[in-house]
Amino acid sequence: MPVGTNATVKALDPADIRATGASIILANTYHLYLRPGHDRIERLGGLHRFMAWDRPILTDSGGFQVVSLGDLRVVDEDGVSFRSHLDGSVHRFTPEHATAVQEALGSDIAVAFDQPVMPSSPREVVADATARTHRWAERSLAAHTRADQALFGIVQGGIDPDLRAESTRAIAALPFDGICLGGLAGDETPEQRDATLDVAVPLLSDDPRPRYLMGLGSPADLLEAVHRGIDLFDSVLPARVARNGQLWVPGGRLNLRNSRFLDDPEPIQADCPCLACGQFSRAYLAHLFRARELLAYRLATCHNLTFTLDFMARIRTALEAGTFPASLPELRLRAGRIRGSEAGVKSA
């Protein structure tokens, strides 16, 4: 899922998003509640109509902002009080309120209000937040009324094997439509993530519901997570790094702001069907980035999302053909070694 926090995948219009191959996008409850307001979006016909996107939308519950906007919040058993990052005004989210806001937005998939924690937090902090997330999960379910909207629950537990296993069992025991694995897009290492998935996913092996790993999006992360049994992802990474000049290609990445591209007549990626590669050279993109021209952000975002979604399509093809494990080396080569903070291959 490409991420469209403010009811827009930054720099793209709906036709651009479709052209990347995306079939579902993510929007954010917290941001849309603050601006323009979920009630306003509801009056204007709901989120799909508001942003002219007729395919599925998943709304994140806003729980993540509890962590990412940490300076501004106070958590208690009933919910979270926080200050708006826009104007400092005080607001309060509870599981019931987050559910109601998502129903007003009219997303296809809503997500239970949770309390993520950084993996580096002390164990008792993780245990406390995880237990509260379970109680909030039940409250989100109880508050949910729209039959035309799915509701996913979120597993927490940090990278502690026992807590993660306990949380997986607790959330899986509830009648959610899908299972999110949260709290793994923070400061943990790729090895810790893999180990955590190896703890959680086997507990869902007989569970037919989709498994959604929240917040990861580098090609290597996607591949390794699918390998461990994950179905669904979201991440700002491909779009954000694109806006900052980093273009993904098979085997690595290009930083289009580097001077070596100023005279490069080749497309970003020769066999890529995206809006950029079909008509423009690396030299042109490099020029646009230097000039800070708006087209740079659109073209780069189109490319990285196209690359990412094409990569997922290749994985699906291998899975459906029954050749997935055998295809791992080839897919790993294509993904490169970009996994978050881990230094990756710089160019193909």
Partner RNA sequence: GGGUAGGUUGAGCAGGUGGUGAGCUCCGCUGACUGUAGAUCAGCCGUCAUACGACUGUGGGGGUUCGAUUCCCUCCCUGCCCA
Nearer to RNA, 142 or 291 (CB): 291
For position 69 contacting RNA by CB under 7 A, the verdict is yes
Does the active-site annotation cover 234?
yes
Residues 117-146 that bind RNA (CB under 7 A): none
Residues 216-235 that bind RNA (CB under 7 A): 216-218, 221, 234-235
Nearer Cβ to RNA, position 63 or 267?
A: 63
Q: Which residues of 17-29 are buried (b: 16+ CB within 10 A; e: fewer)?
A: bebbbbeebbbbb
Q: Which stretch binds RNA (CB under 7 A): 13-21, 157-165, 181-189, 265-273?
A: 181-189
Contacts of residues 233-238 at CB distance under 8 Å and 24 or more positions apart, as own/partner, are: 233/1, 234/1, 234/2, 234/3, 234/26, 234/58, 234/60, 235/3, 235/185, 236/3, 236/5, 238/2, 238/301, 238/304, 238/305, 238/307, 238/308
Binding residue (CB under 7 A) for RNA from 114, 166, 194, 224: 114
Q: Is 163 in the site for RNA (CB under 7 A)?
A: no
Name the one range near RNA by CB under 7 A: 38-46, 137-145, 179-187, 272-280: 179-187
The minimum distance between CB 266 and RNA, in angstroms, equals: 17
User: CA-CA distance, 222 to 232, in Å (whole number)?
Assistant: 9
Catalytic residue among 114, 194, 221, 234: 234
Give the one residue of 132, 257, 314, 332 binding RNA; rule: CB under 7 A.
257
- What minimum distance in Å lies between the beta carbon of 20 and RNA? 12
- By the rule CB under 7 A, 87 interacts with RNA: no
> According to CB under 7 A, which one of 79, 119, 158, 182 is a site residue for RNA?
182
> Which residue from 95, 116, 157, 267 is in contact with RNA, where contact means CB under 7 A?
116
- How is residue 91 written in tokens? 């607001």
**149 lies in the binding site for RNA (CB under 7 A):** no
Q: How far is the CB of 192 from RNA (least distance, A)?
A: 12
Give the integer Cα–Cα distance in Å for 65 and 114.
10
- Residue 98 makes contact with RNA by CB under 7 A: no
Interface of this chain with RNA, residues 299 to 328, rule: CB under 7 A: none
**Under the criterion CB under 7 A, does residue 342 sit at the interface with RNA?**
yes
Q: Which is nearer to RNA, 87 or 322 (CB)?
A: 87
**Helix 95-105 with 123-143: angle, nearest 10 deg:** 50
Residue 234: C-alpha distances to residues 41, 213, 238 (Å) = 23, 8, 10
Catalytic residue among 16, 60, 194, 221: 60
Could you give the angle at which helices 294-321 and 324-335 cross, rounded to 10 degrees?
160
Is residue 64 close enough to count as binding RNA by CB under 7 A? yes
Is the separation of the CB atoms in 251 and 348 below 8 Å?
yes
Does the protein bind RNA through residue 89 (CB under 7 A)?
A: no
Q: What is the dihedral of CA 316, 177, 60, 296, to 10 degrees?
A: 20
Q: Are 164 and 200 in contact (CB under 8 A)?
A: yes
For residues 63 and 69, the answer to whether their CB atoms sit within 8 Å is: no
158 binds RNA (CB under 7 A): no
Residue 147 found at the interface with RNA (CB under 7 A): no
The answer to whether residues 228 and 194 touch, using CB atoms and an 8 Å cutoff, is: yes
Task: Based on the shown chain and the rule CB under 7 A, indicate whether residue 245 belongs to the binding site for RNA.
Answer: yes
Chain positions contacting RNA, by CB under 7 A: 3-5, 9-10, 26, 28, 31, 60-61, 63-65, 67-69, 71-72, 85-86, 111, 114, 116, 154, 156, 180, 182-183, 185, 190, 214-218, 221, 234-237, 239-241, 243-246, 255, 257-260, 262, 290, 292, 294, 297, 339-344, 346
Kindly list the catalytic residues.
60, 234
